[in-house]
Structure 1
Amino acid sequence: MKNGFNLSEWALRHKSLVWYFMIVSTLAGVMAYMNLGREEDPSFTIKTMVISAAWPGASVEETLNQVTERIERKLEELPALDFTRSMTTPGQTTIFVNLRATTRGRDVPGTWVQVRNMISDIRSELPQGVVGPFFNDDFGDVYGNIYAFTSDGLSQRQLRDYVEGVRTKILRIPNVGKVELIGAHDEVIFLEFSTRQIAALGLDQQEVIRALQAQNAISPSGVIQAGPERISVRVGGQFTSEESLRNINLRVNDRFFRLSDIATITRGYTDPPQSLFRYNGQPATGLAVGMKAGGNLLEFGEALEAQMHRIIAELPVGVGVHLVADQPVVVEEAVGGFTRALFEAVAIVLLVSFLSLGLRAGFVVALSIPLVLAMTFVVMEYLGISLQRIEL
């Protein structure tokens, strides 16, 4: 009676072929391990979007009935919708759109595009004066490196300009993802009207504001056709600084007056600021740097460190650069810990196998561990799976 196929017998009769496959698999595994992406944690998709809209001056009931309910009724048409949750305050609504747990991660970006299109369809039905709606679905962004920029003798605007220049240079690094400023203050010009002066001149503050808007408006002024030449005509007079505001003469109710006679014009920063960033209690501007998904965070960290050394050498005296968060160090420790654990496991199995099975059988058992891992690394590279703590 003939037995079925015996893999062990076939391997013994084809030793050269088996050794060939073992060597090729090992070399391919080593190369795959070197090329695998390194990350701290696996990327995941958050299936929630936030939609916000403002209706200045409206009550809670008006905002709820005219804005919140109209948006939520439209969202009910979304096939992948699980539920919505909203918070409505006077003149402000915030709606959380949650997708079903069965929604595939690769389908989520297309679903958010569908949500934007659906809300755009009803934008004309919303009351006049509604600001928005605005959409936020960037919850999964991770910034591995955060730098704090401090200044000694520089204004916040000057520091922001330098940080913007640094951001432009960092964007040239291969595999760089999002690079965002944290705690940067926006400059604004404040107009503080004197109610006494406005009343004495018999003016209306709203009329003054409308006159300023008309003065600062950019509108087409026509063209001059001179044979083959076509020359665009533009009207100047737009505001370029607070000084141009102080010198402006406005006409209201057939009367001319200087804006500085009824208002105090100053340059400053948004108050209250949208966000604040401090380093050791000192005001600073943060720069958060992220890597593209699937990249090698260790190689990216080395490239970023080299670029930052060149950037710091070009910054003026008074600008301090401080590393706040360094994710490549965490990833290096995680991957290094896995490598140490792997070698320890192989050494323990070798020792136990040699003592219990003998030299030849123990060598075969111990050799199977790195061989299986090598083939696993090849499969991981083929499927685009990176090395991170969960996979390790």
Structure 2
Amino acid sequence: MNLPRYSLDNAKVIYFFLALLLVGGLISFGQLGKKEDSPFVIKSASIVTRYPGATPEEVEKLVTEPIGREIQSMRRVYKITSESYYGLSKIMIELDPATPADEMPQMWDELRRKVLNIQPQMPQDASPISVSDDFGDVFGIYYGLSAGEGFTYEEMRGWAQRIKTALVTVKGVQKVTLFGEQSGVVNVYVSLSTLNNLFITPSEVIQTLQAQNTLVSSGEKLAGEMQIKLIETGTYKNLDDIRDQILTSSQGRQIRLGDIARVE
């Protein structure tokens, strides 16, 4: 049976376009961009505030509700959920799923401005409001830093920070975070019975250490055309300075801190 010529011509055209689409699809797939750790945007943030000593009802009334009312006026807010515990307030804010990814930094900046506006209205003993919006961070490479004997934690921390400073300038690196840092602390071990015998309270020891190590502006002095900057001394430079701190009892007796306490 002979088919009409126009049917054969139509079939050829259809097969030609199918072949063209197949070849074009293969070429496009080969040129498709690929990433091992592709970026994605999480449109949620958490707001945490601590209010030590407060009941859940007090936290809800004095902390959670004022913050919630303030951030409700933000653009593109989709949902706000909150939880109030003993001494702790947690608020989760979710933005509209249709929010463009390139607009997210601006939205989080707006959220932080709202938080700064409400901060002065927080109770006196409440902590600063903490905003976390980095849930979508992806770490593609982990490095472990180790050192042999003779290196202190402070030296290792310094080298880690130098490496971090160099890595953030590498093209394609968005964020570098250090984990396991050993922060330096000073521990003062003192017997409460010894303090009682000397008529000194632990709060007086704390206040003395805090006041001694406070940086204050001592002003300037004009001497003709010269401007002389006055610098206060007396801040702690090492552990021996802390041990040499003089404590004064309520009876006027002076005691060296290192004689009654162990400073490490």
State the TM-score bracket (shorter-chain normalisation).
0.7 to 0.9
Distance 2:58 2:260 in 1: 36
The structure with more helix, counted as a fraction of residues: 1
Q: Which residue pairs with 1:258 in the alignment?
A: 256
Q: Give the secondary structure class of the aligned counterpart of 2:113.
A: helix
Q: Give the secondary structure class of the aligned counterpart of 1:188.
A: coil
Q: Give the secondary structure class of the aligned counterpart of 1:131.
A: coil
1:354-390 superposed Cα distances (whole Å, 9 cap, x missing partner): xxxxxxxxxxxxxxxxxxxxxxxxxxxxxxxxxxxxx
* Equivalent residue in structure 2 for 1:161, among 138, 158, 163: 158
The answer (yes or no) to whether the contact 2:157–2:181 under 8 Å persists in 1 is yes
1:232: how far off? 0.6
1:238: how far off? 0.9
Letter in 1 for 2:106: G
Q: Residues 200 and 177 of structure 1: is their aligned pair in 2 closer, same or farther, counting only changes over 3 Å?
A: same
Higher relative contact order (CA 8 A, sep 6+): 1
Q: Which residue pairs with 2:137 in the alignment?
A: 141
1:77-156 to 2 correspondences below 5 Å: 77-153=73-149, 154-156=151-153
* Equivalent residue in structure 2 for 1:171, among 159, 168, 171: 168
1:135: how far off? 0.9
Q: Residues 172 and 109 of structure 1: is their aligned pair in 2 closer, same or farther, counting only changes over 3 Å?
A: closer
Distance 2:98 2:88 in 1: 31
Distance 2:117 2:223 in 1: 45
Q: Give the secondary structure class of the aligned counterpart of 1:151.
A: coil
1:262: how far off? 3.6
Distance 1:227 1:252 in 2: 45
The answer (yes or no) to whether the contact 1:197–1:261 under 8 Å persists in 2 is no
Q: Which residue pairs with 2:181 in the alignment?
A: 184
Q: Which residue pairs with 1:231 in the alignment?
A: 228
Distance 2:33 2:234 in 1: 55
Q: Residues 91 and 242 of structure 1: is their aligned pair in 2 closer, same or farther, counting only changes over 3 Å?
A: farther
Gaps of 5+ in 1: 1-28, 267-392
Q: Give the secondary structure class of the aligned counterpart of 1:67.
A: helix
1:1-392 to 2 correspondences below 5 Å: 38-153=34-149, 154-251=151-248, 253=250, 254-266=252-264
Distance 2:171 2:75 in 1: 38
The answer (yes or no) to whether the contact 2:37–2:140 under 8 Å persists in 1 is no
The answer (yes or no) to whether the contact 2:56–2:85 under 8 Å persists in 1 is yes
1:98: how far off? 0.9
Distance 1:91 1:211 in 2: 29
The answer (yes or no) to whether the contact 1:208–1:252 under 8 Å persists in 2 is no
Q: Residues 44 and 171 of structure 1: is their aligned pair in 2 closer, same or farther, counting only changes over 3 Å?
A: closer
Letter in 1 for 2:209: L
The answer (yes or no) to whether the contact 1:48–1:97 under 8 Å persists in 2 is yes
Letter in 1 for 2:142: I
Q: Residues 56 and 239 of structure 1: is their aligned pair in 2 closer, same or farther, counting only changes over 3 Å?
A: farther
Letter in 2 for 1:78: M
1:205: how far off? 1.4
Distance 1:220 1:247 in 2: 24
Calculate the TM-score normalised by the size of structure 2.
0.80
1:199: how far off? 0.6
Distance 1:263 1:89 in 2: 38
Letter in 1 for 2:261: A
The answer (yes or no) to whether the contact 2:59–2:89 under 8 Å persists in 1 is yes
Q: Residues 234 and 257 of structure 1: is their aligned pair in 2 closer, same or farther, counting only changes over 3 Å?
A: same
Letter in 2 for 1:232: K
1:67: how far off? 0.9
Identity %: 29
Letter in 2 for 1:112: W
